[in-house]
Structures are given as structure tokens and as C-alpha cells.
A and B are shown apart, each in its own frame.
Chain A
Amino acid sequence: MKDVKIFQQMHRDGLMTRREFLAAMSALGLSASVASSLLVSSSALAGTPVRGGSVVMASNLHGPDDTLDPIVCTSTIDYTRQNTIHNGLIQIWDDMSLHPELAEEWSVNSNATEYMFKIRQGVEFHSGGTLSADDVVWSMNRHLGEDSPSSIKAFFANVVEWKKIDGSTVRLTLSSPDADMPIKLTQFQAKIVKQGTTDFSKGAGTGPYIVESFEPGIKSLHTRNPNYWRSTGQHLDQIEITAITDPNARLNALLSGSIDMMTVLSAKSIKQVEATDGVEVMSVPAGLYGGICCLKNTMPGQDDDFVMAMRWIQDREKIVRSFLKGHGQVGNDHPISPAYGADHCHELEQRVYDPDKAKWHLNKCGIKTAELYVAPVQGGIEETCLLMQQNLAKIGFDLKLKKVPTDGYWGAVWMVEPLNVVTWNMRPTANAMMSIQFGPGGNWNDTFWNSDRMGELLKMSLAETDPAKRHEMHCEMQTLVHNDAGMVIPYHTNVLDAVSSKMHGFSNVPLGQLGGNGWAEFAWKDA
């Protein structure tokens, strides 16, 4: 391991090209994906931040629906802009640790139903005026109410009220215990904006960079906020955020130096990036997954044997090996990957590819054919479905694939067609993930599987403070989903991006692209 470090240093200091580095690593017996992950962490070794420089980041999607309004954000480009121009109460950074942001400190009562937040004083909005408790209450109240368009209002379903106690104190009252609340407040949608804002297109917050220009579907331009409350960070002079929809064009732009960072690197292109000097793969293990929903309220998903057959037919190892090029983990038919840390149930036996078992279940239920709706909602999902189709054909089952476009998919196909594909981003906690997708009667229970026991466990685990007991509860939940729900989860994929080797200072938060979309405040670029 010491050799590795020396090589890392050499690579960092420019004494060794990345090709030489990778060759050295393979000589040490390390696999290519491990070796390149060492390269990424080698940028963390790099010295002190440099101030200055401007960068261009290209995401994968944008359009007339780009927004700077935090509560309606749904895309990577929106999230990135949120972390660039706004602040939240609490910030998340390396290893999912929490840091005070606009809340200088916070406290919770013994049964986790009441939180007190001390609001930072003297923080200025970009548009002038000072942050007060009123702004916090107003911003957070926008997530409440049935008709709120907030994309994370499910996280705040247990909120009774946000109340201003005095100019610098806000109290949050909950109807049920929730130890996860602080981490939920780190979400992109929970940013604090100026009270009464109606036009968000100029930025409404207090963040490290201000909005110089914002053209939805084209780009936005940001410059350093001269009146920022924090004295560290803000290394870059100027940040441009745009998107290049075509994946090959995006990669070519990075390879030819037109941009400094790109989100969503296709696994097919990893080899190319690894072979090119001056660019790096960023690969962060995450809970992000692609899966197949078999609706439990209709045929064929209603039949447990059918769902079980769909699970046994997944050649998980091959999916991770061939389609993800090793940048992911096999799934175990529940969403909680090892990236969730202590809440992941490692005791649960891993399901493997077993066409005989699949055939046995199919014979038992007597279903001969089915139609699965596929949209390219996630990197490996189409390939996975094609492989599944092939393997099912070998055991005499005819799976028809119906390819549909991604736009309109969430309204017209997902949770509507009996068999469809889905992707879920990693949520900040295992409980948040499980309750959003499997909470009984929830809005996003996308297999229509309702289990009372699941509901009980979700409530209990949120209030449980003993780690061992909590793990046990999470294990039971994962086992329930693994066996009974309508979900097939063959793989979890790493968050894959690519950056110029000049860029440093990314976190390893797996909740979004490029280290949880939170790079703007702390990233820097070699001159």
C-alpha cells in the first residue's frame, strides 16, 4: 500500500503519466477500476487550493424548465446551481458529515420531535438585506400544504409548524419523532431564500456565488459573492453552468478541453477517459439504482412467483461487469446498498443468477409472456432489460420490450403500466429511501405493495437510537422488500462523472453528481 502512495505522489507531481500510473497499479495486482479510483483520490492529496480561474461545467440535461427556485428543482443542473447560489440551514460534506451553514447550531429534544435552530447573524442576501428568522420560516413553509409543488414535501409530511421564536431562533415541531431531520435539511430543495420572492431567476439567496446571467436551456454564469459570510472556499473567480445533451459530444468537449467538468459519464466511455491524460473519472459508490417495477395490484406482478422469476433471471454479476464496467455493485432486490453504511443489511443472502429457479417459478405461475416498458431513465437499465430478455428467451419465456421516451415517462408509464423500469437516486438516509418508496399508502409506492409491518418498522426505526436495534429493524425491512415487494433491483451504480485533472476539491458525497453537486463553493483549478 505504501508503494501505491508513492506512485500517487509521483502522478500528482507530474513525474508519471496516468497511463504509467495505471500500468504500475496493474503490476501491483490491482484491478483497473480500483486503480483509477486511486487516481481520483490522488487529487485529494494535492496541495493547497489555488484562488482564481474560471470553469465550465456541462450537465446532461437542460431545457426551458431550468429553474433557480429551490423547491421545484428536479435535475442535476438545477441542484448544482442551488449549491452555487444559495445556502441551506445545514450543509453535507465528506463521508456524509453535517456542517452548520445558515443554522449556526441546532438542538433536538429527547424524543426527536422538536428542533431549535440558531440562525446565523449578519448574513447578506445578494439582492441586499440581511437574513432573518422570518426568511427561514417563509422558505420552509413553502414545502408544506397539499398543493405545494415542492419535490421533497414527503420529507416534511410530519412537520407541524416552523415558528420564529426571536430574530435569531426558529423552532420546528414534528408530529412524530424524526432523528433524520437535520440530514433532510441538507437537500437542494431546502435552501433558504428571501421572504416574499416571486421571481427566482436572479437568485434569491445568500450563497457563495451570485447570478450574473441565467438563460434556461442555454447556460448560467456566476461570479464570486464579495459579501459572503464564510471566509474559506470561493476559490474560483467565475463559474459557467451549462448542459450538453448528447453524451458523445459532452465527452468530446471534455477531452478537447472546451469544458472542465461533465456529469454522467457513460460506462462505455470509461476506458477512453482513463486512457487520456489530463482528464479523470470520478466514480463514487452510491445507492443509486435502476430497477424493474412489477405492480402488485395487477397481473403479472400480483403473482409472487412471477416476480421471483424476474429476480432469479438477473445476471447481476454480468451486469456490473459488462454494463457498468465494474463501477457499481450487485443489487439484492432492495434499495439499501452498502453506500448507506450501517443501515445496509450485509447479513441478507445475496441473490444470484439462477435460470433454473426462475424457470421453476415461471412454470409454477404458468405465465408465458409479458410486456415491459423501458425508457432510458438510467445508464444501465436498457442493457439490463435486453440481457434479461435474452436469458428469459433461453428458458422459454417471451418478454416483450416496449421502448418509450423519457419525457412523459413518469406521468404516463411509471406506476401505470404493469411492468416498467425505474431509477431512484440515493436518499440521504436508508429510512428516507424506504419510506418514500415503500411507505404504505405513500405517493411514490411504485409497486403498490402495502405492508403494515413495513409501516411499523419505518416509524420505529426513526425513533430508535440504539444502533444495534436500528440495524436489526433495517434488516427486517430490507428482507421484506427483498422477498415480498414488486421490486427487482439487479444493480447499484456508482455516480460516474469526468473532470479535468486540473480540478480539485470535490467531496465524495454520493447523493448527486460530482460529489453531491456541491463542488462550487470549495473546488479549485490549477492555474
Chain B
Amino acid sequence: MAETEQTDTRMHFDELPDAPPRRKIKLSWPGKIGIVVLVFWTVIVAIGPYIAPYHEAEFLDESLFVIPGSDEMYPDTDFQPPSKIAFLGTDYLGRDTLSRILFGARTTIGISFIATIFAYLIGVTLGIAAAVGGQKLDMILSRLNDAVLSIPAIMLGLVMIAALGSTIPLLIVLTGIIYAASVFRIARSLGQDVMVSDFVEAARVRGEGLWWIIFREILPNVAMPLATDFGLRFVWVILFISALSFLGLGVQPPMSDWGSMVKENLPGLIYGSVAPLMPSLAIATLTISVNMLVDDISAHAGGKLAGRMN
């Protein structure tokens, strides 16, 4: 079934000489590293909570940290260095950093991923609507879009979360709407390009309907550039949500997300605690690997994509 569909599309491209050819992408080593790290985190999202040594909310007991032979009954449990008890040390409340990263992967990556998808649903739908719809619709959507783009994302985020409370669904919807604005711009301009291309004109001359053109011409042609942009956008959403967490508007305690983990453990940095470094490292490996992958793909796609992404 899947195969026939694929053959169909390929045939369809064959009869339209102007449509861009489908290319098989071969990754170079940064792209491969990117894939590996990405797969790693995907696995963690799936199994993280099951392999975590403790629960994310658990305060490690002081008795665990008593040095044998010492008469100190209540040693400090916060900002402890990595040890057998806590492989990546403990955080500012004496919770296990590793467990919190493993649990937090689900929140951070999950929220960002769903929010990015949501941004794409809104952005692409409206962007293509603006491209194929009338001038009036384009005008209204573009002005609304300008307005959202012209206020710094972090400001919009702060006001709306303060107004409506920081629940996970709200975080997703809000981030989705804010980032839909930039997706809209790209989808609209890509859509407009395709709309004036020779093969769409040919389709029109053949008498194909609007929906046919959207689904058979525009979407397949904008899919590849948008997929690459999805990666970049995903990184920005992760950074955006981390920034919100940093400003104290993240997920509800005791749930962990990486941005909040950096924030709440910053006082430990000065003691040389690894508690704020580990979640930073988690964020960095994830975002860098996505970017490496995207870079690699877009380099193979001729560099043209980069021109649209800003």
C-alpha cells in the first residue's frame, strides 16, 4: 500500500518536469552523530522514568549520606557530588539529578515536540490559506501575524502564562501560537512561490480544483523545506520553554524540566556542583544534535532552505 502511493507520487513528478526532483539524502558524520543523539533521547523519553534510580520528586534520605564512623547524623544532602548513591549528584533539595533528568526528558522534549507540531498545524494551515485564498484573507492573517511577531516571544509568553496559569496544555498551546507566526511566514511564502510556478499553472490549465492543487502540488513541494525548518523551530521551542522555566514559569512542581533544573540549581554552580551543569548538558546535546542534523540535510538540499529561515 505504502509502496504504491510512493510510486504514484514519483510518477506524478515525472510528468511535471519543473517540479523539484526527490533526492535521497546521504548524511555526513555530523548528521550521523545528530541522529544517534536524537535516537538516544527519544529512547529516554520512552523509558526514562522506568530506568530512573529514584522518583523525580523524592528527597534522598540523610541517612544515605552518613559517612561510616562519623557522628554527624544529618549530613547535607543538597548539591552533593556524583557518587554511588546519586550518579550525577543531588540538586538543591537533595533530589537525584540523574532521575530528574530522565523524568524531565519527557516533559521538556514532549512539550517542545507537541508545541512545535501544533505550531506547524496552525502555521501551515493558515500560511497556505493565505497563499491560495483571496487578498482579503491574506491581509487579515498577515496583519495578525505581524502583530504576534512584533512583540518579543518571551514577553507574549510571560503575559499569557501569568494570565492563564502555567499548565502543560497551556504551555503547549501558547508556544504553538507564538511559533505558528514564523511558520506562517515561511509556509505562506513557499506556498506563493509554488502557486506561481509553471507546474501549478499547468494544473490550473488542466482544470484541477483548489484542494487538488493544495494537496497534490503545494504540500508535497513545501514539505521538504518545512521539515528542515521543523528541526530548527523545535530547537527554538526548547530554548523558549527553557527560558520561560528560567523566569519561573515552567511546569508545576515537583515535575522536572531541564530549564527549571538549571535555574533552581544555579546557586550550586559557585560551589562547583554539577547539578546545574547536567541539565544544561542535556539541553545542549539535544539542541546541537538537532541542528547538526538539520544543517546536514539542508546542505544536501542545496543551501536554498537556509535563505528562508530566519
Contact = CB atoms under 8 A, between A and B. Distances in A.
A321 to B, nearest CB: 6
A269 B58 CA distance: 22
Interface string A380-402: 00110111011001000000011
B94 interface: yes
A407 interface: yes
Interface string A128-143: 0000000000000000
Which of A251, A268, A385, A386 has its CB near the most chain B CB atoms (within 10 A)?
A268
Contacts of B254: 386, 389-390, 401
B93 interface: yes
A376 B249 CA distance: 12
A13 B183 CA distance: 66
A298 B33 CA distance: 58
A408 interface: yes
A321 B162 contact: no
B145 to A, nearest CB: 28
B92 A268 contact: yes
Label chain B's interface by main secondary structure. loop
A227 interface: no
B57 A405 contact: no
Contact of B57 (A247, A386, A403): A386
Contact of B165 (A266, A323, A401, A404): A404
Interface in B215-273: 248-249, 252-254, 266-268, 270-271
B266 A386 contact: no
B78 interface: yes
B252 A401 contact: yes
A323 B78 CA distance: 9
Interface in A180-216: none
A235 B115 CA distance: 58
A151 interface: no
A248 B92 CA distance: 14
B94 A322 contact: yes
B244 to A, nearest CB: 12
A272 interface: yes
Interface in B87-110: 92-94
A14 B76 CA distance: 31
B77 A247 contact: no
Which of B74, B249, B270 has its CB near the most chain A CB atoms (within 10 A)?
B270
B25 to A, nearest CB: 44
A403 B252 contact: yes
Interface string B162-173: 100110000000
A391 to B, nearest CB: 9
Contacts of A266: 267
Interface in B38-80: 57-59, 62, 74, 76-78
Contacts of B77: 322
Contact of B267 (A272, A387, A401): A272
Contacts of A251: 267
Contacts of A323: 93
Interface of B: 57-59, 62, 74, 76-78, 92-94, 162, 165-166, 248-249, 252-254, 266-268, 270-271
Nearest to A269: B267
Nearest to A268: B267
A268 B252 contact: no
27 contacts: A247-B267, A248-B266, A266-B267, A268-B267, A268-B268, A269-B267, A271-B271, A272-B270, A272-B271, A318-B62, A321-B74, A322-B76, A383-B93, A385-B253, A386-B57, A386-B93, A386-B254, A387-B93, A389-B254, A390-B58, A390-B254, A401-B252, A401-B254, A402-B252, A403-B166, A405-B162, A407-B162
Interface in A205-251: 247-248, 251
Contacts of B252: 401-403
Contacts of A247: 267
A374 B253 contact: yes
A386 B56 CA distance: 12
A382 B268 contact: no
Interface in A366-381: 374, 376
Contacts, number: 56
B266 A401 contact: no
Which of A251, A390, A393 has its CB near the most chain B CB atoms (within 10 A)?
A390
Contacts of B93: 322-323, 383, 386-387
A271 B267 CA distance: 10
Given A401-B253, A403-B252, A404-B165, A389 B57 contact: yes
Given A248-B266, A401-B253, A390 B57 contact: yes
A403 B255 CA distance: 11
Nearest to B166: A403
7 shortest interchain CB distances as A-B pairs: A268-B267, A248-B266, A269-B267, A272-B270, A403-B252, A401-B253, A386-B254
A376 B62 CA distance: 25
A152 B254 CA distance: 37
Interface string A164-185: 0000000000000000000000
Contacts of A390: 57-59, 254
Nearest to A404: B165
A386 B253 contact: yes
Nearest to A276: B270
A342 to B, nearest CB: 32
Contacts of A322: 76-78, 93-94
Interface in A238-282: 247-248, 251, 266, 268-269, 271-272
Nearest to A374: B253
Given A268-B78, A268-B92, A374-B253, A405 B266 contact: no
B268 to A, nearest CB: 7
Nearest to A252: B270
A27 to B, nearest CB: 16
Nearest to A382: B253
Interface in A402-416: 402-405, 407-408
A268 B271 CA distance: 10
Contacts of B266: 248
A322 B91 CA distance: 12
Contacts of B268: 268
A374 B266 CA distance: 21
B55 to A, nearest CB: 9
Contacts of A271: 271
A387 to B, nearest CB: 6
A19 to B, nearest CB: 15
A389 B248 CA distance: 20
Contacts of A383: 93
